[in-house]
Structure 1
Amino acid sequence: MEVNASAHAAALWVGLNLFVLLVLSLLVVRQRQKHKVVLGDGGVPELIQAIRAFGNATEYVPAGMAALTMLAVVGAPGLAIHITGFLVFVGRVLHGYGLSTSGGASLPRTLGVILTWVSYVFAGAALLFYSIA
């Protein structure tokens, strides 16, 4: 089976976003081990932050992956997939970093959520365009 360039582009960004989820998950495990918390957050602020950073990523990354996959399925150009993938990836890295290092508002968190939302708008518009083109 021949795989087109769009699928390769989507695979790149889906793979990178899987590693974002993995790193954020490992940060939760590290905090659980450090504070000896097996279940829940134990009221430990650092663990609460790590759990939220991972949880937030699990709320946003799957939709981004679905958008990337569907862009590849409809044969969107690689550039559209790379733009979407880059925005999702950088947005999630920034947001995860910001939330992992600060419980309050921060520039990385703000930029991260903005980039993620921009990726959703861009991908949504592209999917609507390619669904009727």
Structure 2
Amino acid sequence: MLAVTSIYAGLIALIFIILSLRVIRYRRGNRISLGDAGDISLLKRMRAHANCAEYAPIGLLLLALVELSTAPVLAVHILGAMLLIGRALHAWGFSASPPVMGARVLGTVLTLSMILLSALGLVFHGLF
């Protein structure tokens, strides 16, 4: 069983749900059914949600593969925390008004670093 990955998958899914609900509530409150209707606030919410949908799956897939490759539990937790914190910081920094660029950048760096470290670890583990 993927005990460690399950924790981070569940927590990241909660972030995804929160981001989804922010879009839904805004759409309902402003009666915007399709697209963004040129509404910058809605567009920011949509992009924060979409960005999570774009990066979280590859991060979680890699995390699961790292865990399955019998990496040390601490390493799996560190990678999972990087992904979780990265996604949370990016979502908050991106969707805040005004945007908090430091949080957005740090979130991106954490997320991409987690993906890179996981990918390199898996390649080296597979080769050696």
The answer to whether TM tops 0.5 is yes
Query: For the residues of structure 2 that align with 1:58 and 1:103, how far apart are their CA atoms?
Result: 23
- 1:19 matches 2:8: no
Point out where structure 2 has 5 or more consecutive residues left out of the alignment.
none
The structure 1 residue matched to 2:81, chosen from 74, 86, 92, is: 86
- 1:68 matches 2:63: yes
Q: CA RMSD in A?
A: 1.5
Kindly provide the amino acid, as one letter, of the partner of residue 85 in structure 1. G
Give 1:40-55 correspondences, 5 Å limit: 40-55=35-50
Partner of 2:101: 106
Kindly provide the amino acid, as one letter, of the partner of residue 13 in structure 1. Y
Length-normalised TM-score, structure 1: 0.89
Aligned length: 128
Query: For the residues of structure 1 that align with 2:55 and 2:39, how far apart are their CA atoms?
Result: 24
Partner of 2:54: 59
Which deviates more from structure 2 when the two are superposed, residues 78-87 or residues 121-130? 121-130
SS in structure 2 of the partner of residue 88 of structure 1: helix
Partner of 2:118: 123
SS in structure 2 of the partner of residue 39 of structure 1: coil
Partner of 2:30: 35
Alpha-carbon offset, residue 103 of structure 1: 6.3
Alpha-carbon offset, residue 14 of structure 1: 1.1
Query: For the residues of structure 1 that align with 2:45 and 2:99, how far apart are their CA atoms?
Result: 13
Partners of 1:14 and 1:68 within 8 A in 2: no
Identity level (%): 33
Query: For the residues of structure 2 that align with 1:58 and 1:29, how far apart are their CA atoms?
Result: 15
